[in-house]
Structures are given as structure tokens and as C-alpha cells.
Structure 1
Amino acid sequence: MKSVAFHNLGCKVNGYEMDYMQQILQEKGYRVVPFDEKADIYIVNTCTVTNIADRKSRQLLHRAKKMNPASVVVAVGCYVQAGGEDTLKDASIDLAIGNNKKKDLIPILEEFLSNKEKAEHKEQEEAKENKTLQGRTIIEIGHTDEYETMVLHRTAEHTRAFIKVQDGCNQFCSYCIIPYVRGRIRSRKIEDILDEVRRLSRNGYKEVVLTGIHLSSYGMKSGNDFTMSKLLWLIQCLQQEEGIERIRLGSLEPRIITEEFVKGLFECSKICPHFHLSLQSGCDEVLERMNRKYSTKEYYEKVCILRKYFDEPAITTDVIVGFPGEAWEDFEKTKEFLQKVGFYEMHIFKYSKRKGTPAAVMDKQISEGEKALRSNTLLELEKKMSQAYRKMYLHKQAEVLFEEERRINGRNYQIGHTREYIRAAYETEENLSGQIRKGMLTDFLMSDILLFQPQIH
């Protein structure tokens, strides 16, 4: 049977879909090898969220073809969905598969392979058509309401399982291409989710992480009325599942945070007090140009609701610096707001111009040098705030799910995460992977890892 190598770029949803593609090919008998080895087939699950992501996607596709010119290089996902005709001209790509077609990887791949010898003798235009099996492997994603059903038995991570429950986005932020390459919101059936969670639980997973392109839209048919979201109901259903001890949430839309929603979360004992509320800017004028549909005042109110119910929850976020028209005063407002909120972790991104989005043609584009300066400033702030949050948990009780063994300074440690997603280390020769232990966080082992001492039973 042919060998196949995988490489994934981008978000947790991409990661889930890559796990599924690898799973079904293995079940079919394909032999999986590392990406840097010679393979018969290379599959790159691409990303297009930024220009850098586009470039990385192209580089990996070219690298694959260079490693084995006779191989079949398969470009999958957002990059090919967004790139259109220009992407199909790339000689390193043999087969292109768009979003909502990943579930059909095996029949698509096998049809392509059966036609490959004939395709080699066709003219260039015909060969380009063969890259999409005459246009059948990339659909008009904006017009589908079909959820692309996939079911995992295992994931790349051995202790926590990422569960994709939703796809698509209706927000149309002015900088973002994702609604165009992922389509409108659509949700997975609750029965499919519960079946997958039960299967993963039987395989030893203790924690599930709910993820989606716009997770807060779970269960919604259209629009932006998040009182219609069924995400809380989904969490309440998962709360009843035996074997699963933790439920962690992916990125949340700030507008879903209400007293009713958070009270419902608090009543679910398995929910992890770790909430990622995407912010993007701490300046109202910039938020408006971004089409983010909330103000900093409203965002802060949401943070206060979370802290009203949960004791020192981990609140994390995303921030874009250098958005078109962001004056230095706007950046200073953002910095002040970030300090006011006091995040545990922040993912800092330099604005990346995406062709086809409103922001790409806005006036007053910021230079790359200025973006780098602002990014570095916030990265330093993030480091300080993250350290302060971890320090706050010293000498407090914690619960750690152990995930891996790691040797640090000549000593063996078991490494895991608390419910707040603080990395913790316990010095032991025992393999604790997949086990949950309660104990105390006692000191810093490294700047981003706290020492953990389990309770003695």
C-alpha cells in the first residue's frame, strides 16, 4: 500500500480535520510516514488566515514535491478554497480539495490516482481540471448548509480530545477571509458529538475541548442573536457523560457571555475555568473599523460576569496590532485596556492584509516596522501579565491532567495542565500520562511551568 505523509497548518479545527483524514487513510491501509521522509502521497492541510499562512502553505507544498517529484501532492482546505485559479496553476499541486470535501478524501484520492496516468498525457488546461476532478473537489462554500460530518476514534493528542462541533462564520470582520473560505454557520448533530465523545472516553481521554470556526454559533441557523445559541445546552449534555472529567471551550464570541450563560457554565462541574474571549483591539474606533460589533465597555462587562461566578478564571485573548488607521494613540488605548482586563495569556498578531477583505483597501496602512514595534511591546506586556497570573496560583490547590514526560535539568518530570491551563510539572519516574491528580502548586520550575506536589492518599 502507498505511503502518505501529513502536515497541518492553522487552527484547532484544521487539526481535528487532519486527524480524521489520517485516521481514514490508515483504516484503508495506507502507511503513514513523517512529512520529512520520502512518501508516495503528501497531504498538506492548508491555512489562509494571513499572508504568512499562505506563504507557509505554498512552501510546504513545494517542499513536498521537491522531496519526491513523482509523488502526489494534495493541497487541502482554506488556501485552495481561497486561491481559485491562481492556486491551481501551482505546478507543485497535483490534487486540490476544498473545505466541506475533506470527508470525501478517500474516494477523491482514489479516483485521482486511477486517472493519474491518463492525466499525465493531457494538455495543461485539462490537467488543471483534473486537479479538482472537473471541479468536484472544491465547491462554492458560501452556499452550503451541509455540516461536514467526521468521526474520530483517537486524536493526535493522547490525553485531551479536540471535538469539532461547528463550522463557518457569519461575522465578516473587515480583516478576515475565513467566512469566504469556510462558508456560513452550520452545526454538528448532538447525537454525533455524544457518540464521538463516548468513543474517545472509552479510549482513555479525560478532557474534551469543544472547537469550531465560530463556536458560539453552535446550534444557530443564521444571524447574530447569541441567545439562540445551543452551546450551553451542548455543554450540559456533555456534563452528563461518564468518563469525561473535563470540558474545555475553544474561542468564544464575547457577545455570548450573559448572566444566564455563565451561571449555566458555573453549574457544570466539569467545565474548565479557562475562557478565550477574542478581543482584537482595546480601542473602540479600531473595533468599529474591524466590524467587531461590540465596544470595550461591553467586553469588560463580559469579563466581570465571568469573574463574578468563577474565582480567578484564566481569561485569554487575541489582539491585532497595526490595523489600518490605528494611530499611536489608539495603540496606547489598547495597551491600557489590556492591563485593565489583566489577561492570563494573549496571542499577539501583526495585521496581515488579505486580498478580498475590506481592510485590505483601507487607507492609512501601517508599516511593517511599526507593526513589529507594537507587537514586541505587547509581547513584553503579555509575558509580565502571564507570569503574574501564574504567581497568583502558587501555594493553591490545583488539579493536573498529565500529558507527557519531559527531562529538565537532568531530572524526569511528568508535565500537564491545570483546569486553568497552567502548565505544571511533577518530578517522578512514574508514567502518569492521562491521569488526573490533585495537589498544590509550590514554586516556579521555569518561567512558564509551576512545580506540582500531589496529595498523599
Structure 2
Amino acid sequence: MDKTVAICTLGCKVNQYESEAVLEQFIRLGYQVVDFSEAASVYVVNTCTVTHLSDRKSRQMIRRAKQQNPHSVLIVMGCYAQIEPDAVAAIPGVDLVLGTAERSRAAAMAESLMEAAGPLNLVAETACDFEPLTIDGSAQEHTRAVLKVQDGCNQFCSYCIIPYARGRIRSRSISDTVLEAKRLVAAGFSELVLTGIHLASWGKDSGEGTLLTLLYALSEIDGLERIRLGSLEPTLCDDAFVSGAASLPKVCHHFHLSLQSGCDKTLRRMNRKYTAEDYRQAVMRIRALMPDAAITTDVIVGFPQETEAEFAETFRFLEDISLCDVHVFKFSPRKGTPAATMAGQVAPAVKEERSRRLIGQAAKKNEMFARGFLAKEEPVLFEQQVRPGVYEGKTTQYLTVHVASEQDLTGLIKPVCIRAYQDGVLTGTLL
């Protein structure tokens, strides 16, 4: 039998990690990984359900897989499969539905399904413990590795379905995290990206400390040069966390702090657990100790009942605090969440107009931040050759840098003097 596997990953970095863990299971069983556009004996679709558009994309990719090889085994897992398992199982050609648990047995179950008939739906309640998925980097093609350290969310923001798909918070133990981090460093990765569904809650369920405790432990690993943090809540960034992170040279000066709105009334309807002033204070703490830090965020426009005055408050707030990048999302009602049935749904044209305004504002702030590094020396982790003799890498702030070099720089961290900026890319010379 042709033992080939292809995977399609939709959604967040947590999904990316889980997909890689599943791919490595297949590799250990002798499977060759092929592109999702090619014919394969096994297809895995790791779904997302953050919006109804994510659901639709998930269904499209499920159907596409079976069209490419009608005789393949088709496994569907992830958040959409967890929320709508019966709908997924009803799609013609689906063989196994896993949801957000049981992924550690995916490859073994795929082999047992080769002769089975009909879909096997193994979706149950969301997991209570941290699922023992692991990676060693064998399926990765990047210079940084994603390391999942947390799952689940207890926040229940009014627009978000993810707590229902992922369950309550679960933290990976320090010992297990350090063990996997050491494996990844031994495999050649010098930067690790810590990720979770609600990363800021790490340790709250386990009693092992806080996210800062984990950062201290990881910082002791020889050969690990950079620790990059995934999305955080502003409530995490108190004096203790910020001063602790600033004291650790390996922690990247790049903080993605979810804002969602700069208007307190909107934040209350969203069931966010902070005010705009709380967010401002978190930003000020970071900048006081790490003035070169990149602070990025997410903002939702057109949330139910968002008036023009409320949007203007968000616009002014972002103008004032000058974050280096803003990911703008137009509110999309998600079935099963309180926000989906709120009165005062905002017209699509209004959402579009507000989105354009924030995107334009963010582009100017991003360029201003990047230009602030001109003539400065920055360590750059090089990822790939973008054209003959030119290599692309990232600074600790996650700014893109191009450098000309006859030496292969892939995977190396080198000091670079930043010389120019154009179209979102910094250009520099090796020192």
C-alpha cells in the first residue's frame, strides 16, 4: 500500500502544533508526507471554528481531500469537528472524526480504518487533562518551532466559541515542556514560540506557578537562543511579569496583547476582563523596561451595538498608544455565542468602512515603528533565501529583514546593521 499522508491546517498556532504532532505519528509509521494538493492514502483536515467562514472553509477542505483520492482515509479533527461532530461525520467520505481530543492515536487509528466502512465519530466531551501530544521537529521546515504549553479557556468572551470547543484551561507541566524544548533545540531550532489557547492562564490549574515561572525554566536551556510568546492578555502584564520577562535575555521583545476594542462599553459587551486604561498601563509597563519592544494587537470592528462614537473611541485610543501592528477583524456572528443574538447588529458596509480606517492607521504605525530601527544593530534569525544571494530573517521584534550574503545564513542568528526600509521590509548588512 502507498503510505502517504497530507494535512491541511486551518486556524491558529495551536492547530499548527497539533498538526505537526499528528504528522510525526505518521512519519514514525513509515508514511511519506506529501502536499495537500497531491494524491495521498491518508488526508487529515485540522479544522477551525472561530467564525462561520472558518466552518465553511473547513467543509471545503474536507470535500477537496476526498475528491483528490476517493479511496483515501479521511480524518477530520480540531475545533469545528468538536463543535459539529455529526455534521462533519455526515460529509461523504469522512472516515474518522476526532475533535480536540484523542489526536495522540490518530495515525494508529488511520491504519485500522483502511478496511472499515462508514465514519467513526470519536468526539466526546472536551478533554480534562493536557493531551500528550509531542513533537521532535522532524516534520517542520522552519527555523523556529511552535511549542504548545496550554490548552482551553475559561474566559467565555461573548463572541467566542472556542471555550466550548477546547474546554477548561489545562497547563502542560514544566518538566514535560522543558523536555520537549530540549529535543527541539537538539534538532536545530534556536527559537521556540510558546503557544496556547489562553497562554496567559498557564499554571493557574496546575499550581506550578505562572507563565513567568515557565519562562525562567526554559531560559536555562543551553542552545535555546530565543523564546517568543504567543498571544497574551493585558491582565497578565503586571509589574512582576514585565520586570521578570525584561530580565530574561532570551525572551523576545515582541508582545501580542489582545485589545479587541478601545472602548470600555464595547469591552463590557464583549465580556472582556479589563478596561482600555488597564491595557494602556500594560503597554506602558512594557515600554518602560523594553523600549524597543514590538506590541501588536487584535481589534474587532462592528461588534453589536458599536456606535460611531464607540468606534471613534477605539480609533483615538490606538492613535494615542501607537502599537506597531493591528490585526483588524470585522465582527462575524458565531452561532452558539451570546453576541450572535445581541440586538444592534452592525451593517456589513459599516464594518467594512471601519475596518479600512483601522487598517490604514495601522499601516502608518507599522512603518513608523520599523523605521525607528534604521541605523541600529539588531540580531536577526535567518529563515530562508528569498532570491539568489539574499536571505530573509526576523528580529526579536518580528520585523522582516533582508541581507545580501554569499554565505548560507539559513538557521543562523547574525548581527545586522539596519540600513533601509521599503514596502514593509528592512534591509541591512552583516556586521
Interval containing the TM-score (normalised by the shorter chain): over 0.9
Q: 1:84 and 1:200 mapped to 2: Cα distance?
A: 34
What do you get for the CA RMSD once the two structures are aligned?
Answer: 1.5
SS of the residue 2:114 aligns to: helix
Matching of residue 190 in structure 1 with residue 174 in structure 2: yes
Aligned length: 429
How far apart are residue 398 of structure 1 and its match? 0.6
SS of the residue 1:355 aligns to: coil
Map of 1:78 onto structure 2: 79
Map of 1:357 onto structure 2: 337
1:41-440 counterparts in 2 under 5 A? 41-114=42-115, 116=116, 119=117, 127=118, 130-132=119-121, 137-141=122-126, 144-154=127-137, 156-221=140-205, 230-407=210-387, 412-440=389-417
Q: 2:152 and 2:418 mapped to 1: Cα distance?
A: 39
How far apart are residue 159 of structure 1 and its match? 1.1
SS of the residue 1:252 aligns to: coil
Q: 1:242 and 1:178 mapped to 2: Cα distance?
A: 36
How far apart are residue 228 of structure 1 and its match? 8.5
1:52-89 Cα deviation digits (max 9, x unpaired): 11111111111111122222221111111011323322
Query: Which segment drifts farther, 322-331 or 155-164?
Result: 155-164
Q: 2:93 and 2:389 mapped to 1: Cα distance?
A: 44
Amino acid at match of 2:3: K
Map of 1:124 onto structure 2: none
1:112-167 Cα deviation digits (max 9, x unpaired): 224x1xx2xxxxxxx3xx421xxxx21211xx321101221115242111100000
Please report the TM-score for the alignment, with normalisation by the length of structure 1.
0.91
Amino acid at match of 2:41: D
**Residues 228 and 287 of structure 1: CA distance in aligned 2, closer, same or farther (over 3 Å):** farther
**Residues 228 and 33 of structure 1: CA distance in aligned 2, closer, same or farther (over 3 Å):** closer
| Matched-pair contact (CA < 8 Å) for 1:216–1:229 | no
- List gaps (5 residues or longer) in structure 2: none
- List gaps (5 residues or longer) in structure 1: 120-126
SS of the residue 1:384 aligns to: helix
Q: 1:326 and 1:157 mapped to 2: Cα distance?
A: 43
Q: 1:379 and 1:247 mapped to 2: Cα distance?
A: 28
SS of the residue 1:251 aligns to: coil
Map of 2:423 onto structure 1: 447
1:324-355 Cα deviation digits (max 9, x unpaired): 11111111111111111111111111111111
Q: 1:364 and 1:59 mapped to 2: Cα distance?
A: 31
Amino acid at match of 1:343: L
**Residues 92 and 370 of structure 1: CA distance in aligned 2, closer, same or farther (over 3 Å):** farther
Amino acid at match of 1:32: V
| Matched-pair contact (CA < 8 Å) for 2:298–2:326 | yes
Q: 1:232 and 1:157 mapped to 2: Cα distance?
A: 29
SS of the residue 1:152 aligns to: coil
SS of the residue 1:433 aligns to: coil
Amino acid at match of 1:271: V
Amino acid at match of 2:179: D
How far apart are residue 320 of structure 1 and its match? 0.6
Q: 2:88 and 2:22 mapped to 1: Cα distance?
A: 22
1:159-195 Cα deviation digits (max 9, x unpaired): 1111000000000000000000000000111111111
Amino acid at match of 2:200: S
Amino acid at match of 1:417: K
| Matched-pair contact (CA < 8 Å) for 2:297–2:323 | yes
How far apart are residue 103 of structure 1 and its match? 1.2
How far apart are residue 380 of structure 1 and its match? 1.0
How far apart are residue 279 of structure 1 and its match? 0.4
Query: Which segment drifts farther, 325-334 or 367-376?
Result: 367-376
Q: 1:159 and 1:89 mapped to 2: Cα distance?
A: 39
Amino acid at match of 2:397: E
| Matched-pair contact (CA < 8 Å) for 2:85–2:123 | no
Amino acid at match of 1:158: H
